[in-house]
Amino acid sequence: MDNTQQALVGLVSEQLFGGGELPQVPEDILKEAALQGVRPLISDDYQTIASNMRVSSAHAMLTDLLSGIPFVTIKGCASACYYPEPVRRQMGDVDIYVSPADYPAAEKRLLSCGFERKGLESGWHSSFYKNGIHFELHHKIKGVPNGSADTEKAVRRCLSDIIETAVTLSTDYGDILIPDEFHHGLVMLLHVAEHIVTDGGIGLRHLCDWAVYADKADISRYQSKLEEMGLWVFACQLTAVSVKFLGLKEMPWLPEISGGFLTLFMDDILNAGNLGKRSAGRSGSMELAGSKNKLRSFIGMAKRRYPFARNNPLLVPTAMALYLFSYLFTRLSGKKQWVTLDMMKSGKKRTELYGQFRLFKI
């Protein structure tokens, strides 16, 4: 953690749990805050705040639009409602989850109401746009990387009633259906784990999401369920990082965790930036560095990028060719950096750090 990051973390901590007024923030800290997705937390970033309001309004609009179709909105507004000022939680897209059985009806409803389909079906969701806002219609909640069949079953079992147990959040924009306390925490853990282990990382924004959630939720109530899914250790580690660096109150149920480990974990979060955008090449370099079988890793990366090949071995070579073409194009055009030896070394260290999360291990 460099001096700028340290100052940013202190400012964010004060706004989340100190109740202080917004200070005058130097430009270098504002730039770092933007990379971490937390600029609205420490400044009157009116452009982002206005965008947050539009996205929140879009969440509420769906309550009426999807009337009669069971669904729940996950992540964005569900995370924002735990903040002291929800409008300051930087919003991204709008994520909607429906059961596979209701997916065709929900898709038809969106298209009939002027939503435009964008991109290919991911295997987890379809993407739509309307009025400049990105909507993702999920028929499966992603985020069980590298788990055993037993943990996969446990996760799916716990997610099976996420729609039935949804609660209504009343906002200035209208009612929004969000997961209850347990399911919201589970979705966050899965989302964060997926982005850390198989993507570029999370950044400070998602750690803040967990910190404000842990401040209000009694996570210890869910210990047995989280242990069954191999997520309890990770939940404790995220909470402990929030206590050490973000000013979250001490939790009596937290086990003792090495301060050195927590520092390395926080450095990794900050070095990633918001969803890995601060450091290029992190995901690929880590996967390749941490695997003895480079070809298998490459095949896995291609399948994640192109879901059409996941269940069809005959299409794997096509996915690999597309992935290689995409990699070469983005590097030769200067849009992304080449994976270097230093990146590979860093990836190996991160693989060792992530092994301590004991994700999905029971």
Residue 348 lies in a domain: no
Residues 109-149: tens digit of each pLDDT: 999 999 999 865 667 889 999 999 999 999 988 766 555 67
Where among 274, 297, 314 does a domain terminate? 274
Query: Can you give the pLDDT at residue 249?
Result: 96
Residue 359 lies in a domain: no
Torsion sign over Cα 192, 89, 272, 270: negative
Query: Can you give the pLDDT at residue 104?
Result: 94
pLDDT in tens, the chain (362 residues): 899 999 999 999 999 998 878 889 999 999 999 999 999 999 998 999 999 999 999 999 999 999 999 999 999 899 999 999 999 999 988 999 999 999 999 999 999 999 999 865 667 889 999 999 999 999 988 766 555 678 888 999 999 999 999 999 999 999 999 999 999 999 999 999 988 877 778 899 999 999 999 999 999 999 999 999 999 999 999 999 999 999 999 999 999 999 999 999 999 999 988 877 776 555 555 555 455 566 776 787 777 677 788 778 888 889 889 878 877 777 677 666 666 666 556 667 788 888 899 888 76
Query: Can you give the pLDDT at residue 185?
Result: 97
Residue 50 lies in a domain: yes
Check: CB of residue 134 under 8 Å from CB of residue 158.
no
H helix intervals, the chain: 3-13, 27-36, 39-42, 46-65, 76-80, 103-112, 149-159, 181-198, 204-216, 223-229, 232-246, 259-272, 282-289, 294-305, 316-332, 341-355
Domain co-membership, 259 together with 293: no
Query: Can you give the pLDDT at residue 58?
Result: 93
CA dist 13 and 11 (Å) reads 5
Residues 162-200: tens digit of each pLDDT: 999 999 999 999 999 999 999 999 999 999 998 887 777
For 133, phi and psi rounded to 5 degrees? Answer: -110, 140
Query: Can you give the pLDDT at residue 279?
Result: 66
Check: CB of residue 166 under 8 Å from CB of residue 89.
no
Query: Can you give the pLDDT at residue 151?
Result: 86
Residue 344 lies in a domain: no
The first and second tokens of residue 1, run together, are 């953690």
Domain co-membership, 197 together with 306: no
Number of domains in the chain: 2
Domain co-membership, 87 together with 23: yes
CA dist 178 and 123 (Å) reads 23
Domain co-membership, 153 together with 113: yes
Query: Can you give the pLDDT at residue 143?
Result: 64
Domain that holds residue 238: 3-274
Domain co-membership, 208 together with 312: no
Domain co-membership, 188 together with 247: yes
Domain co-membership, 68 together with 179: yes
Residue 352 lies in a domain: no
CA dist 1 and 4 (Å) reads 8
Domain co-membership, 48 together with 144: yes
For 167, phi and psi rounded to 5 degrees? Answer: -120, 160
Torsion sign over Cα 299, 305, 306, 311: positive
Check: CB of residue 302 under 8 Å from CB of residue 319.
yes
Query: Can you give the pLDDT at residue 282?
Result: 59
